[in-house]
Amino acid sequence: MKRIAVFALIITLVFSLFSCGVEVETDTTESGTTDVTPVLVDSDSETGPESETLPESESESENVPDALIEITPMPDVKADRIMYFPSDLGYEFFVYATEEGFGTIGADGKVISEPKFNTTTYYYDAQGNGQKYLGEYVDGDFNNFQFINSEGKFEKKEYYGWGMEVFGSVYWYNGAPLLFDSENGVVKYSQDAYLSYGYCRNYLGNAEFFFAPAIAAVKEIESYTIDDSGYSAKINVKYKSDRYGLFDVLTGKMLTGFIFDNVSNDVSVDGAIAVKLGDKWAYVDDSGSFITEYKYLAGDVIETYDWDKNDGSMIEVEQMYMPVNGYIVTVNENGYGLIDVTGKTVVENKYDFLSQVSGQNQFWILDDGVWSICEIKR
């Protein structure tokens, strides 16, 4: 089985804050829930840099979707964070974090499983169809692997890893894509060859497995050497610059110049990729067009494997939320908010925390110490 850069993400979210120029009208119902309709107000807007190679966004902040958010406060829920993790097992519950660890909780606010894991990690089982789920070796005991089943309960099982893996990476070299394979060195680029490695990426609770991205973030290199003296080949490259460009996986051509200071991940996820210029982040779609302006802060900073060096060293990287079920959590100076995959504002940035959206269009918000469950209704 081939994969690119497989790693487990340990979720440790930071608290950053942001604002987005949208007010919310509320109407409390007799049942105790609150209907929230986004309403546009005037605000100063920031624009992304002008670039001949990157089209400007057609999705402006005034395009607020006609959404109704039902909010139900649950003051009895106690948690440092509440998160949603998509899974091949069809998770409908949420994961909550306390000082004791990670447990599971339903949208009704009832605890399903008390905190048990010290970390929250995605695993991919090599048996069967390689299903993705949350799991962990309890207390570091390799004879006690437990995963979270579809009901949100901890269940012990045998875990089988993938064994020796083949990794790949793509660079831009002498006006063409260069595809490196850790087993065979440099191989001829094609869409099928690139996608054959599969992808396993984790972005703040959003992991995609064996999906086919339309675009990839690449760097331009001046030269390279191959070291095949070990168990797997390694590539040593000399970059022309530290900047990234966006590459069309299908055509093998560049969509943009090398104009971005950073990217949050190597490939687009469900039609979007996060790019950085200066100290702010924006989102770009699969055509290379902005769907937001440069106005967001990183959702977290994590420590992960340095695949450029591929020598066992770790590196700290900024991570951005990626789409889950059609929505993206955003962070800026005024708090957490929510947009859809076209860049339209769904929830203005003002909350202390906001989980990703489940398949049932539900998510949690933390506002002034009180958790509430929310549901998006159109």
Q: Is residue 306 part of a domain?
A: yes
For 77-89, the pLDDT digits (tens) are 999 999 998 877 7
Residue 5 included in any domain: no
What phi, psi does 192 have (nearest 5°)?
Answer: -60, -40
pLDDT band for position 160 (50/70/90)? low
The pTM (predicted TM-score) of the whole model is: 0.76
At residue 41 the predicted structure's pLDDT band, cuts being 50, 70 and 90, is very low
Q: Into how many domains does the chain fold?
A: 1
More reliable by pLDDT, 197 or 317 = 317
Q: Is residue 11 part of a domain?
A: no
Instruction: Give pLDDT, residue 184.
Output: 87
Q: What is the dihedral of CA 14, 300, 210, 273, to 10 degrees?
A: 130
Tell me if 8 is assigned to some domain: no
| 1 in any annotated domain | no
**CA 193 to CA 18: how far, in whole Å?**
41
Q: Tell me the DSSP string of 310-374.
A: -SS-EEEEEE----BTTEEEEEETTEEEEEETTS-EEEEEEESEEPPP-TTSEEEEEETTEEEEE
The predicted structure's pLDDT at residue 121: 66
Span 240-249, average pLDDT: 95
In a domain, 9, yes or no: no
Residues with Cβ < 8 Å from 181, sequence gap 6 or more? 166, 167, 168, 187, 233
Query: In terms of residue numbers, what domain contains 66?
Result: 22-377
Q: What are phi and psi of 261, to 5 degrees?
A: -75, -30
CB neighbours of residue 176 within 10 Å: 11
In the numeric block, the tokens 């769904």 are attached to 346
| 7 located within any domain | no
